[in-house]
Amino acid sequence: IGLRISLSWLTDANDVDLHVIDPSGEECYYGHPETAFGLKLYSDQTQGLGPEVIILGGRKTGTYKVGVKYFSSGAMGASRGTVVIQHIVDGVPLGDPEIEVFTLPSGYSSVLPITSFVVK
């Protein structure tokens, strides 16, 4: 694995999905679980608190965009959660992870942009 992006959320009655756009512009998520660039949805959680995980084998340069979206939202209101981006070399984490905290408003129907990052 060269890159691991994980999502967890704090509202049990919701299903929140992780969306990652690779440098070629192709989006990886539950409805399109693999991109030609190499992103792969490793874990899609539909119940509970996650985690959802998208991985990339090897190191591929470019800009990646990360977002989250409700698949379904329960009566609990807004969902709060965390996205963690970790670069990995030979199975060992490289540096500190990037941690992004978000609030997904109740009824929000689009992908909420969380962060973008560049792999050099």
26-73 confidence digits (pLDDT tens):
999 999 999 999 999 998 887 778 899 999 988 899 999 999 998 877
Nearest alpha-carbon partner for 6 in 104, 82, 89, 110 = 82
For residue 60 the two structure tokens come to 């591929």
pTM: 0.93
- Residue 58, pLDDT score: 85
Q: What is the CA radius of gyration of the chain?
A: 14
Q: Token pair of 65, please? A: 């965009």
- Asked whether the beta carbons of 114 and 67 are under 8 A apart, the reply is yes
Q: Using the Cα atoms of residue 119, residue 42, residue 83 and residue 19 in order, give the sign of their dihedral.
A: positive
CA–CA separation, 57 and 103 (whole Å)? 29
- CA atoms of 54 and 81, how far apart (whole Å): 16
Residue 112: predicted pLDDT: 96
Tens digit of each residue's pLDDT (9 = 90 or more) over 59-117:
899 999 999 998 877 666 788 899 999 999 888 999 999 999 999 988 888 999 999 99
Tell whether the model's pLDDT for residue 25 goes beyond 80. Answer: yes
DSSP string, 7-53: EEES-TT-EEEEEEE-TTS-EEBTTB-B-TTSEEEEE--SSTT--EE
